[in-house]
Amino acid sequence: MGEWLFWNFKLLMIQNAPKTKEVSSIFASDGRYRYLDTFITLFVVVLIISNTIATKFFAIGFLRISCAQMLFPITYVFGDIFTEVYGYGASRRAIWQGFFASFLFVAIIWIAVSIPGAPEYGDQVAFSTIFKPVGRLVAASLLAYWCGEFANSFTLAKMKLLTNGKHLWTRTIGSTVVGQAVDTTVVMFAAFYGTRPVGVILKLIVSGYLIKVVYEMLMTPATYAVVNYLKRVEGVDYFDRDTNFNPFAASDL
């Protein structure tokens, strides 16, 4: 089941992924802005670190929390910043760059684990235990990231139009409520359906979802500060009135 899900997800992405022109536009720098590329780089770094530390869990009372949850919710803060300041098109570019970086990360890790260690290298088992990617979990995390981030950015862009750019907190929290619901539900069902009881999966969804939403609510003051600073220094406050919201589109229009 895991291998079937992994390869079908990979086929879906290949069939629908941006073509050559679209890919070049995704990775091209946007010379209009001073800090957009820097924030996209930070976004990708946080995403990769989250993937690296995701397998370790720690306890807070009866809760069991992945180390990735210390960082991964920040990617949604970045998503809010991209969409709120630079528009949905910038967020779409960041999401695709993060997706390709994550896929490359998994591929290189798989190669590193598969290569036999030198005779004097005594840590192959430990290295494999920590880093060996599991096909179904990888596919589940990539799919959930892709769906959740786009749901988050789409919701914020639409709410910005509805609120006429006012009450930023309603958009940052509202988009997180939607995006994290999609992300958490997709990853848990894609990763564990058929191997864990549905009741257990639902408990994992609820606990993970609440932690992520509360996390971003606490980050709201920091989001306000960064958004206001960027709007001021970049001289932009983008409204997605005529934006093409297709995740695979090459341009905003």
Phi, psi of 63 (to 5 degrees): -80, 145
* Residue 131 within any structural domain of the chain: yes
Q: What is the pLDDT of residues 32-55, one digit of tens each?
A: 889 999 999 999 999 888 888 877
Q: What is the pLDDT of residues 54-112, one digit of tens each?
A: 777 777 776 667 788 788 888 889 999 999 999 999 999 999 999 999 889 888 888 88
Which tokens in the block code for residue 28?
A: 């091209």
Closest CA to 215 of 187, 178, 173, 181: 173
SS3 per residue for 89-107? HHHHHHHHHHHHHHHHHHH
Can you tell me whether residue 60 is helix, strand or coil? strand
Rg (CA), the chain: 19
Q: What is the pLDDT of residues 143-189, one digit of tens each?
A: 899 999 999 999 999 999 999 999 999 999 999 999 999 998 998 88
Angle between helices 198-218 and 220-234 (to 10 degrees): 50
* CATH number of the CATH domain containing 193: 1.10.1760
- pLDDT at position 15: 53
- pLDDT at position 137: 76
Q: Looking only at Cα atoms, what is the longest distance across the chain?
A: 65
Phi, psi of 242 (to 5 degrees): -120, 30
The pLDDT-based confidence of 142 (bands split at 50, 70, 90) is confident
Distance between CA atoms of residues 124 and 116, nearest Å: 8
- Helix (H) and strand (E) counts for the chain? 10, 2
Beta-ladder partners of 196: 193
92-113: b (≥16 Cβ within 10 Å) or e: bbbbbbbbbbbeebbeebeeeb
- pLDDT at position 12: 53
* Residue 253 within any structural domain of the chain: no
More confident residue, 22 or 71: 71
- pLDDT at position 10: 52
Angle between helices 135-162 and 2-16 (to 10 degrees): 50
138 contacts 6 by C-beta, under 8 angstroms: yes
Q: Which domain holds residue 169?
A: 2-234
- pLDDT at position 20: 52
Alpha helices in 54-87 (DSSP H): 72-81
Q: Kindly report the CA angle at 65 between 190 and 102, in degrees rounded to 5?
A: 50
For residue 5, give every residue at least 6 positions away whose Cβ sits within 8 Å of its Cβ, in sequence order, or none: 135, 136, 139, 140, 190
User: For residue 141, how far is the Cα from the chain centroid?
Assistant: 9
Total number of domains constituting the chain: 1
